[in-house]
Amino acid sequence: MKIFSKHLCHIFKRINHHSYFTKKIALTFDDGHKYAPLILEKLEQHGEKATFFLCGSYMEENISIYQKIFKSGHEIENHSYNHPNMLELSEPEILDELSKTQELIEQVTGDSNRLKFFRFPYGRRNKEITLLIENHGYIPVKWTIDSRDWTGINAEDIYNNILKSNNLSNGAIILMHTSGTHTAEALDLIIPALKQKGYKLMLISDLYQSIRRYKKNLKKIPANPTNSG
């Protein structure tokens, strides 16, 4: 676990141009509700899978939506219970936010042994809090491209924020929201364009496993192979 103690995005930034990550990218949707069923519909239409970082408060209100999302092959991960600024909470409050949502996730997935991925609300965190949650078995996941769909921008602008981003590269993690008014509509533009560029959409857990395999293989490669003989 120790070698993965940094944010996934940091790890991706360091190695995301390596050929090992050829054209792998992840779509992520935060928060919960509102347009979640519509986003699910669009993903189905395009035959793609994505990762949802959900707040427990939303999950509790209508758990059947999230059961449907999970049964359709998408990933359900932790985004706290009430979406607080974690920097303003005490340690027990932070852990309570995470564990309440994790219980709901386990209820939906029926699996208590799965890896626990967590995204900080607003991305707000510090070293201490990051270490605290890692010590409780959570793997923090940020993003590398913010679609800014939460600002209410139209589908074309969401598309441009992703497709024209300097961070659009192998291993990128794209941030979108279930509350985005034009997010579902934008998927009709984004998914075909990413596919056309040769990207394969993957779940966060798949990208994580790719890193594990990559790091494992890296250890087998001599530091300077050209001088080894």
CB-based contact 29:53 (threshold 8 Å): yes
Distance separating alpha carbons of residues 130 and 96, to the nearest angstrom: 15
Q: Which is nearer to Zn ion, 31 or 75 (CB)?
A: 31
Q: Which is nearer to Zn ion, 31 or 48 (CB)?
A: 31
Does residue 30 carry a catalytic annotation? yes
Residue given tokens 């990933």 in the structure block: 75
State the catalytic residue, choosing from 7, 74, 79, 177.
177
- Tell the smallest beta-carbon distance from residue 53 to Zn ion (Å): 7
- Tell the smallest beta-carbon distance from residue 31 to Zn ion (Å): 5
> From the centroid of its chain, how far is CA 11?
14
- CA-closest candidate to residue 24, choices 179, 141, 196, 198: 198
In sign, the C-alpha dihedral spanning 40, 23, 6, 173 is negative
Q: Which is nearer to Zn ion, 86 or 203 (CB)?
A: 86
Q: Which is nearer to Zn ion, 30 or 149 (CB)?
A: 30
| One-letter-per-residue 3-state SS of 107-136 | HHHCCCCCCEEECCHHHCCCHHHHHHHHHC
**Contacts to Zn ion by CB under 5 A:** 30-31, 121
Does residue 136 carry a catalytic annotation? no
- Tell the smallest beta-carbon distance from residue 30 to Zn ion (Å): 4
State the catalytic residue, choosing from 7, 30, 31, 149.
30
- Tell the smallest beta-carbon distance from residue 22 to Zn ion (Å): 30
Catalytic residues: 30, 177
